[in-house]
Each structure stands twice: as structure tokens, then as C-alpha cells.
Amino acid sequence: MTVTAVRDGTGAESCGAGTVDINSQELWNLDNVGIARSERSDWDDVLRVGIQKTDAATPDKWIERSASMTRVTGRHPLNAEADSKILLEAGLVTPRALHYVRNHGPVPNIADSSSEEYKNYHLEPQRFTIDDLRSIASSGTNKNGIPRFPVAFGCDGNRRKEINQRRQTRGSNFGPGAVSCSVWGGVFLRDVLSRASLPDEPESFHVWFEGEEKLHNNSTYGTSFPLCYILDPTNDVMLAFEMNGKEPLPPDHGCALRVIMPGMVGGRQVKWLKRVVISDKPSPSWFHWHDNLRERFLFERERPFFIEVNFTNHPQRHFAPVITHPTHDASIDIKTLPGNRRVEFKGYAYSGGGNKVTSVEVSLDGGMNWSGAKSVYVGGPRHGNKWWGWCHWSFSCELWRLLRCSEVVVRAVDAAGNRQPENVEWNLMGMMNNSLYRVQVVLLEEEGQPPYLKFLHPVLPGTKEGGWLKRSLPETETGRGEGQKRPEKTIPRSELDNHSNEASCWIVIAGVVYDVTAFLQRHPGGAGPILMNAGKDATEEFMAIHADDARRMKEQFAIGTLAEEGRPGHIAGMHVCYRPRQPNLTPDGKTVAINPRRWTTLKLVDRVDVSHDTRKFRFSLPDPSSQRLWLPVGQHIELAAHPDPNDMDKLVIRPYTPVSPVTLGEDKVSGTVELLVKIYPNGAMTQILETRVTNKNDLASKEENKVMIRGPTGHIRYQGKGNFNIDQSYLWANRIAMVAGGTGITPMFQLARAILLDPDDCTRVRLVFSNKFRGDVLLYDELNELAEKSKGKFEVFHTLSHETPKSVKDRSTGTITIQMLKERLFEPHADTIAFVCGPPGLVEKAAKPFLEEIGFDEDHLFAF
């Protein structure tokens, strides 16, 4: 393999580009062109094809396929993609076994000698065998005989699962692997068409392509393209009969003949080509008019508006780069590795219409700054400026840069100046998702293990679970619509065996039994896909490919609920409501006591009067020996109590931040929760706690001394070493400025102590703490002790508004002022964030406006 370097001059860092000369390869061995000899033995299982058990009961049972492909629409028809990691590592030329597959029905069993029919708009049909086409190719306009060159194309639904996570579309859950690049050989279609008379004005005519694929209503897959486009020699429209060498096309890829239309989407690369027609009208095929549409503002096609409006289809391949390495869930140990070690990111990029991807750029700071990546292209340009293949790109950075990074983002620019949208745009068919590709970087630390970075991709294809992009549909866990009840009738699993044929067809979806016999002939995909699941659980396949309207429509066929022993436990990435609930566990095997969706009952076991109006209450978890609070730093709990123990209808709820335990590391043996509570004369919750217990002797005897908690709640979560998750956005800070008043000190104390308890956390903290009187200063001893032991990492400054301090260290008299915050806190900076917490008057009239005036913007100023 020879690589010729070409300078492109893009990005802040050097951005190299090169081309791999496919013509220098042995064309009969292109399936292995990207795999080093020493590695080929490791690829045997990946590239091995054979009859798959999954296909045994389908019309495709005769086809040899790779078991490494991920199926996204169940067993049949086959729609599958390779893992993006494998796809990239296989090389610039995608092996046949790993090329993505998009089938609408059973694969036709066509012999290599089958003929292709060409029909002019006014002449008698002409027929060509594959041998005829080979002969035309050898004597046609290509000087070197049969043309062979790399072409990358993909399904318009590539990365559709990212759209489905927001709201289910009408398409399947393709991930980022529904795109491939192989070397195709065949005959230029213009040379075939020239064998007959062509219209005098080709601009007014269209070329229809019809495949052999038989669909549910005896129709075939078809589309068309303007004749003038096909006759243009620079567009390279080909009838292909070879793939990656001199072997015939595999069945899944169009054997014996398919259309290759470089620069266009997969929907225009018609497989199992049977007929070509020149007509003065576009193809009447349903797929030509209703596929490859981007209906962004419709939710159902059955609406009259959809029927009345002609949407424009998008035949040109869309434009996108993708990150493949590091892979999803990959991790890097950061404590035992040098900070200057480089981490490499890799991926692929492609564009449509023959436009070259001129630059690939990577950002580590949310898009504020971009660096150029190095790119290698498959093959050179055709006709001087047509780039039909894809490129592989790579980018490396020092490990220490990732410690400040919450996500890695990739973007690209092509020769036409195209860029991607920043966010996913939902559309009914889930088409053409080319938004910025984001990989989240999470800093994690588990007990007894060194800290490490984990990389999270948005989704995994098909029904695989994983990814940072979580499903956000407003549906229940079983996939049934809101307000729909499960049928009361219970049906045993043994009864399903009696309804597994066309005469009586029952299926199970998420534990509900449906009699779909009457629907078989009305199913848009034909009866076959349903009958393959007759008498069985069809949840996985149904959830993978059906949109909201289909999920609602199925309810009219519900007849009962499957008996308990027959219900599946985990379906299509959703937690099913009847699955036994498993408690969350801490690393040492203890049960996490809190849950954000249900209350946990605690018992008051101790009370300490800290001052005339402040109490410290200690509560015991239900099972102290086996439970832990396990509250993340920065989060708080909700405390609930009944004002009248005899009236369970009334409940008072207030948020509190515990003062113990304040870190996950401390939460090992106590089994208790301590709250610091300021008692207000008219406070609903504080009066409940104050009046229930007047002395310690009452603690164990009174049943009303029980309260409830749930959590964690809050929008701020500290993940260690300066890393925050705030409102689902990741921030890093080297310095933290804090302003607190009264009991607002509790979350500040929690955060500061968590930082100081970690010897490897270098984050610095400065706190201004405002109170009225010396007796109001909460956690005074604890704060000063933290400051003294911090070696300068933590500084605290007290100010009293109603008393001249005498015994308070680092103090002043008066309310908070702008000058005070300027002198005592860190100045605004990109690596500095500020937190405020306290009474509304302090926060809204002093702390926040003063910090804003100093220069802290909304991205660096937060309130607990």
C-alpha cells in the first residue's frame, strides 16, 4: 500500500491528507486490503460467512452471512451494520462480509447468468446478459477495460437511533455503521444506453431502475434519475457485477447486477436489477416518492396535510464525520500513566455529490476551539474533482487535556462548504442525521481502584443497550401509550402454541398478548414478518422498527396478559415494569438507601442543640448495617414529614444537604444521616422537627419521630478533581469561589470537604460566609479546621452584619459588598466558577448581582 502525502492546510494544528492507491492492490483480494498480515488470523471469525441459525425460519435461509453484523430489524428482512470499530479497522475498503445491508424483503435467488432488460420509451425492449455487459464494458468509453473504483455510500437512516432516542420515527435503529466503501466493477450505464436510440432532448427524460425484489404486495423496489445526469461521463453511473475484485456480487449486495450511483444515498443503488426504462416521467414506484424524505414537522403520514403536500426527496448522500475510536465504554487509567501520553481519536468522514472532505476538525471544549485532524482518502479523484470514496481521519492530544474535557466533538467541511447542524433534527422517517458527533468523557473513581476516564458514544445500534443519549419518549416502560391499561385476562404460555399459524396468529409484545390474525393481510410489510413470530414473543422486533402510530394501533388487537412466568424481563433497552426491582449497590455491596422516585423511612435517633435556633438531627437508615445513604457530592435530599401523625393526607417536603456523611468515601459504616436545621418560628418543617422531640428520652419511644427522604436531587454534581456535571453539562474548574449565608453553608461545606479529602484533587476554594451574629455561624469549628489543614487550598472569610466580631478569625463587620468579594474571592476566569447559597435576600440582592458585576457570567455562576 502506497500513501502519497498531500497538504491541505486546515485547522489550528497541522492537518495532513493522503490517498491510498487502490489500483496498486490485487483486485481479487481487496477484502483484506486494510488488514495487516499479522492481524488477519484475528479477523477470521469477523470475516467468516456461513448459514446463520437466525435465518433458519426465513426465506433467506440459503444465504451465507457474517455473524458479526448487528441486526437492527430483527431476523427478517436483513438490515444490518458492522460495529463502527471493526468497520474502521477493516480498512479503507470495506470487506464484503462487513458492508452494511439494507433489504426491504426476501433476497431474490438469481443466477449469475440472469439477464437485464433495457426498455426505451418508444422502442422494443433489449435484453443483456452479464456476459453482454462485460463485453460492453471492455469495449466502452473506459480505456482500461472494466472500470473499477471505490464508492462509499450509506443508508439515509445511518445514525437514526440517535433520532429515535428523542422520539420514535418510522425507521429502524441504525447506528453509525450503516455506511461502507467498497470497490465496484461493472459497466457504465451510458455505454449500455448508447447501444440504442436516445431521445433528442435527454433533459426531459428519466431513467427508471426496477429490482427483482418481491415485496408484500407483489411490487418491486424502484426509483429513477434524470437521463442527462446518467449520460454525463463525470458522474460515473455504473451497472456493477463485481465487488472488491473479480468475484460476482454477494446475494445481499445485488447479485447478479446492481446500480452504483456514486455520491448518492443507498436508496438509489438499486439491487438485483431487472429492468431499466427510459420515460418522460419519473418512476411511479412508491419508494421513489416516499423514501429519502426529511419530514421534520409531521408526526404521522396519514394526516391529510402529508397526502396533499409533495415533499422533496434527497437523493444525494448527506455529509458527516463519525468518531469510532476510542470505542464506547473504553477507559484509560489516568493515575498510573504520564499526563503527556497522547490519546488517539479516529473515525471516518464522507460527503455526497463527489465533494471532497477538505478538513476534519476536533474540539475538546464544546466547540470554542477546533484542531485539525490528519486524513487519508481511499483512491484519488475521478475526473480531477470527483471524490466518490470516504476518508479515515485521526487526531491525538495529550492525556492531561482530556482531564478538563467533558466531550469530544468532531465536525468536517467539504469542498462545497457544507457543515453539519449542531444538534439532531427529528423527522418522521428518521433520515439524514448528520449532526455533530459527540463522545462524552467521564472521570470516574471507584473504591479501591485508580481514577480513570471513560468514553461514552451516543448510542449502540439495534436493540443493544448503552450510550449517553437516553430515550426520552413519554411512554410507559412497556411501550403502551399513556392511559392504556393492560388487559385483565391472563393467558398461559402453553396457549400460545395453539395460535402460531396464519389461521390463528397471536403474538406477545411486552407481556401483552395480541390476536393479529385479521391484520396479517393489512400489514405494510406483508404477513411473513408477523408469522415468523406467531405464538412467540415479538417485543424486540416490534420495538426496533415501529413508530408511535403503530404502537397505538396495536392496542385494538390486545386480548390478554401473558401469565407471569412467561414475561420477558428486559426488552429493547427499556426497563419493563414487571421486572423484579434490583436495588442499587455500593462498591462494597451495600444497598443504596435513597431513590429519587420513592420515599425511604428514617427514624430520628439523636438531637443536638447547636445554638438557640439551630439543631443537628441524626436519623437512622432502615437497616444501618446493610444500607448506605450514598449521596453524590453537590446533591441534596428531600425530607418529608406529616404535620399530624394521624393525618396521612398532608405532607410537608423541604430540601436539605446532609452534613454527614458528606462524601461517598465517608459513607461506609455509619448507617445514619445528619442534618443541620435552623429553626424558624413559622417554618412548617422545622416546627415539626422542633415540637416532636423535646428531650433525648423521647427519641426511641415515639412513632411520630419517623420522617421520609428521597433523592438525590439537585442540578449540581461534583465528580472529583474539578469536574462538575451541572444541568447535564460538564464543566471543569481549577478554582471555586463561594458565597454563603446561614444554612446555605451546608452544600458549600459538603463540596469543600469532598475536595480536601482527596489528596489528588488540586482544586482551590475560597469562601465568604455571611451571618448576622457570631452565634449564628454554623460549622464554625469544622470550617476553620478544614482551612488550617488544607495547606492553602481552602480559605474562609466570615462577615457579621449585626455584630462586631471579636473571636471570629478572618472576619469583618457589615453586609457583603462588591469590594469584599473582589478582595476575598478569585477573579473571574475560564477555569473559575462561583457558587452561591443562602436566604433569598442574600442570593438575589447581593451575592449574584455582585458576582455578575465583578465579571462572572451565567456559564460560571451557579446557585445551589
pLDDT at 17 exceeding the cut of 70: no
What CA–CA distance (Å, rounded) separates 603 from 688?
14
Confidence of residue 546 (pLDDT cuts 50, 70, 90): low
Who wins on pLDDT, 242 or 730? 242
> For the packed helices 745-757 and 780-789, what is the interaxial angle rounded to 10 degrees?
30
Strand ranges of the sheet holding 101-102, from the earlier edge strand across to the other edge: 70-71, 79-81, 101-102
Which range, 60-69, 201-210, 420-429, is most confident? 60-69
What CA–CA distance (Å, rounded) separates 164 from 174?
10
User: In whole angstroms, what separates CA 762 from the centre of its chain?
Assistant: 32
Residue in 76, 104, 546, 636 annotated catalytic: 636
Q: Which domains does the chain have, with CATH numbers?
A: 3-95 (no CATH), 116-308 (3.90.420.10), 320-456 (2.60.40.650), 490-570 (3.10.120.10), 591-713 (2.40.30.10), 716-863 (3.40.50.80)
| String of DSSP letters for 20-52 | E-GGGS-GGGGGGTTS-GGGGGGGHHHH-EEE-
Q: What is the mean pLDDT of the chain?
A: 80
405 SS3 class:
coil
Question: Looking at residue 472, what is its pLDDT?
Answer: 60
User: With contact defined as beta carbons under 8 Å apart, do 277 and 205 qualify?
Assistant: no
Residue bearing cell 458549600: 748
Provide the 8-state DSSP code for 844. I
Residue bearing cell 471513560: 454
Residue-wise pLDDT tens digits, 483-515: 456 677 888 888 888 888 888 899 998 888 999
Residue in 656, 718, 730, 780 annotated catalytic: 656
Residue 656 falls in the annotated catalytic set: yes
Contacts of residue 138, Cβ cutoff 8 Å, sequence gap at least 6 = 145, 146
What CA–CA distance (Å, rounded) separates 434 from 805?
62
> Residue range 771-800: average pLDDT?
88
**Which of 384-388, 617-621, 724-728 has the lowest average pLDDT?**
724-728
Who wins on pLDDT, 497 or 276? 276
Contacts of residue 653, Cβ cutoff 8 Å, sequence gap at least 6 = 638, 639, 640, 685
What CA–CA distance (Å, rounded) separates 312 from 793?
61
Q: 763 vs 367, 737, 793, CA distance in Å? A: 24, 11, 7
What CA–CA distance (Å, rounded) separates 229 from 416?
19
Residue-wise pLDDT tens digits, 667-677: 555 688 888 88
Confidence of residue 567 (pLDDT cuts 50, 70, 90): very low
Question: Looking at residue 24, what is its pLDDT?
Answer: 44
pLDDT at 100 exceeding the cut of 80: yes
Residue in 58, 657, 686, 746 annotated catalytic: 657
pLDDT at 372 exceeding the cut of 80: yes
Question: Looking at residue 695, what is its pLDDT?
Answer: 52
Residue bearing cell 485521526: 394
Residue bearing cell 403503530: 550
Confidence of residue 124 (pLDDT cuts 50, 70, 90): low
Provide the 8-state DSSP code for 845. I
> Residue range 54-72: average pLDDT?
92
Residue in 15, 405, 505, 837 annotated catalytic: 837
Helices and strands in the chain: count of H runs, count of E runs: 19, 49
Residue 636 falls in the annotated catalytic set: yes
Total Cβ atoms within 10 A of residue 441: 21
pLDDT at 191 exceeding the cut of 50: yes
Confidence of residue 852 (pLDDT cuts 50, 70, 90): very high
What CA–CA distance (Å, rounded) separates 690 from 692?
6
Greatest alpha-carbon pair distance for the chain in Å reads 108
User: In whole angstroms, what separates CA 627 from the centre of its chain?
Assistant: 33
Contacts of residue 443, Cβ cutoff 8 Å, sequence gap at least 6 = 334, 403, 451, 452, 453, 719, 720, 721, 723
User: With contact defined as beta carbons under 8 Å apart, do 518 and 530 qualify?
Assistant: no
pLDDT at 4 exceeding the cut of 60: no
**What does DSSP say about strands 79-81 and 101-102: parallel, antiparallel, or unpaired?**
antiparallel
| String of DSSP letters for 543-559 | HHH--HHHHHHGGGGEE
Query: pLDDT exceeding 90 applies to what percent of the chain?
Result: 34
Q: How far apart are the first and last CA of the chain?
A: 59
Question: Looking at residue 168, what is its pLDDT?
Answer: 82
Q: 32 vs 36, 242, 577, 709, 834, CA distance in Å? A: 8, 16, 47, 60, 55
Residue-wise pLDDT tens digits, 320-335: 899 999 999 999 887 6
Shortest CA distance to 721 belongs to which of 323, 447, 402, 297? 402
Contacts of residue 859, Cβ cutoff 8 Å, sequence gap at least 6 = none
541 SS3 class:
helix
User: With contact defined as beta carbons under 8 Å apart, do 547 and 169 qualify?
Assistant: yes
Residue 76 falls in the annotated catalytic set: no
Residue-wise pLDDT tens digits, 614-652: 888 888 888 888 788 888 888 888 888 888 777 666 778
Question: Looking at residue 164, what is its pLDDT?
Answer: 87
pLDDT at 55 exceeding the cut of 80: yes
- Grid coordinates in use for 486? 393492560
What CA–CA distance (Å, rounded) separates 339 from 674?
39
What CA–CA distance (Å, rounded) separates 93 from 379?
10
